[in-house]
Amino acid sequence: MAEIDPPRIAGAALGAVALAAGGSALHAWLHTRRVTREMHPPIGRFVEVEGVRLHYVDVGPTDGDPGDAPPILFVHGNGACLEDMLVSGLIDACATRWRCIVPDRPGYGHSSRPSGRPYDPRDQADLLRAFLAELGVERPLLVGHSWGALLSLAMALDHPEAVAGAVLMSGFYYPQERGDVAAMGLPAMPVVGHLLAWTLGPQTMRRLAPKLYPRLFDPHPIPPRMLADYPFAYGERPGQIRAAAAELAVMRSAAAELMPRYAGCDVPVTLLHGAEDKALPAALHTQRLAAEIPGARVALLPGLGHMVHYFARDAILAAIDETLARATRRAAPAPSGIGVAPRAPNDPALRV
């Protein structure tokens, strides 16, 4: 009977694991190329800003120069891409009146995410400000969703002179314990996370998506237009998996850093939130923030969950209109000899 050689068996096992991991990584790389080149090629333009190649869509009214319309910067959430805003129908509705600029944030869609920078909300706010400067866009209204709402709020706090105001939808603003962060944030870990993203990541995301998206849309079903047109395969790419994980990992600390400054926010802000949001409860985030920001308007949207931009188009357009009107009044110089009354700490709630 042959003797067992433990070192040899261990070496063979490690070799088999390495071979399987290498095969998975190669499959993920080939899948990524197919997704970005064949299945979902770029639909917009590219600009390089501070070493990041950003993909974006820029649309506006067809009568006249779209650049003359008031600009709006739309900021998508964690794990999404610019198609989230497009497929929802919100951009089509807004582009008849305003110039709509919709970027893929770093690491999502077709935008790059070079290593060496934090990509937390404040860092991405700086990047988006530079992006707007590159396009020659001045003082846009920010419309942010979920993680993108926190980013938009960071931009309003750090660069108030560069924005007209903000409409924040379904946002995360305060450190909230979430059970999904520990597991979903694993791919953000150094070395091990990279390995996970390139081996188990694509298959894991493919299995998780059917459970994740219904929770975000609850109590409504996923709209047929999203099932038909949204590029779900983006979320299976290792690079986007790591980008989403990294943003989940910094979410609580970023909110903790920003929250002492909320009361000093000096741009018009309107807050929208689905009353049935299971992912981010309105009472823990939007309603609490509305009490802190002077003059903030707030609307809870009955019967809606996290993805309000797919269902509350009229409410969002009304919020944009009202916030832009406040921004215009704020920017206008006061008539000579007439003082400007200070804003009340709690303006009436937005009626939508």
Average pLDDT over every residue of 268-272: 98
pLDDT recorded at residue 193: 58
Q: Which of 52-56, 89-93, 186-190 has the lowest mean pLDDT?
A: 186-190
Cis check: omega of the bond before 238, within 30 degrees of 0: no
Percent of the chain past pLDDT 70, that is, above it, reads 74
> Could you tell me which CATH number the domain at 34-330 has?
3.40.50.1820
Q: Which of 92-101, 302-311, 332-341 has the lowest mean pLDDT?
A: 332-341
Average pLDDT over every residue of 6-10: 50
The residues pairing with 146 across neighbouring beta strands, listed in sequence order, are none
Cβ distance 249 to 185 under 8 Å?
yes
Average pLDDT over every residue of 151-171: 98
Q: What is the DSSP string of 216-265?
A: HHTTSPPPHHHHHHS-GGGGGSHHHHHHHHHHHHHHHHHHHHHGGGGGG-
pLDDT in tens, 188-219: 556 455 566 656 666 677 777 778 899 999 99
Residues whose CB falls within 8 Å of the CB of residue 248, separated by 6 or more in sequence, listed in order: 78, 180, 181, 184, 185, 188
- 351: confidence class by pLDDT, cuts 50, 70, 90: very low
pLDDT in tens, 276-298: 999 999 999 999 999 999 999 99
pLDDT recorded at residue 38: 64
Average pLDDT over every residue of 306-335: 91
Q: Where are the domains of the chain?
A: 34-330
pLDDT recorded at residue 12: 39
Q: How many CB atoms lie within 10 A of CB 348?
A: 8
In this model, does residue 337 exceed pLDDT 50?
no
Residue (of 231, 180, 178, 235) closest to 205 by Cα position: 235
Residue the block writes with tokens 């333009």: 45
- 107: confidence class by pLDDT, cuts 50, 70, 90: very high
Average pLDDT score, the chain: 84
Separation between Cα atoms, residue 248 and residue 133, nearest integer Å: 28
